[in-house]
Amino acid sequence: MENMETKMPLIGEKMPNLTVQTTHGKINIPGDYKGKWFILFSHPADFTPVCTTEFVAFQKRYDKFKELDTELIGLSIDQVFSHIKWVQWIKDNLNVEIKFPIIADDTGAVAKRLGIIHPAKGTNTVRAVFMVDPKGVIRAIMYYPQELGRNMDEFLRMIKALQIADREGVAMPANWPNNEIVNDHVIIGPASDEKTAEERLKSAAKGEFECFDWWLCHKKI
């Protein structure tokens, strides 16, 4: 990967092609996940307390992610032997079997390619999250500091919301499905011309959906 372009990937771009060593053997990202959603997340290091709580939390929800046709992939700048030993420790001491692969990025090449090295923490990676759709396109990116563990229920909400948005051609309100204005409804994209704006209000009057005004319409799905 020495000759690979080093620009950090952005939302809406293709996930860079990466061949990596994991606890499940070598895999190609995103090629081996074509047709599926996946979340690639990095953690600062094995055998650390916050990271351990995160891996347990991810695994506890793994079946829910799989119900959304979404796979999980971990990553840190550790050797595969460290990953294997840590996974064994979690199973032996916490009775949780980590069933998703963990990338062994001991050279740091993958982390550098993705722009997830913590600048103030030596070679450690930040708590980064990349959500990638079935076409290999990055749909969301989140970075967390080392001292803050992530909320996996939010990731489940995001994947479900993105899938509905794609399928229905809608947008999702804040805190969906518990929004303070429209509850569990979804947002219809705002009108971009006068004719559509007028038609929106007429459609709302017919009960096809609901509108506070022509630019703020919502519906139940």
CA distance to 42, 125, 127, 160, 217, per residue, from 157 (Å): 19, 25, 19, 5, 22
Q: Which of 18, 51, 102, 116 is catalytic?
A: 51
Closest CA to 46 of 96, 83, 92: 83
CA distance 104 to 18: 12
Active site residue 211: no
Nearest to 114 by CA among 14, 8, 10, 4: 8
Question: Which two structure tokens, joined as six digits, stand for 14?
Answer: 């293709």
In sequence order, what are the residues at sequence separation of 6 or more whose Cβ sits closer than 8 angstroms to the Cβ of residue 151?
none
Question: 123: which DSSP letter?
Answer: T
Could you give the CA distance from residue 186 to residue 199 in angstroms, rounded to a whole number? Answer: 19
Q: Residues with catalytic annotation?
A: 51
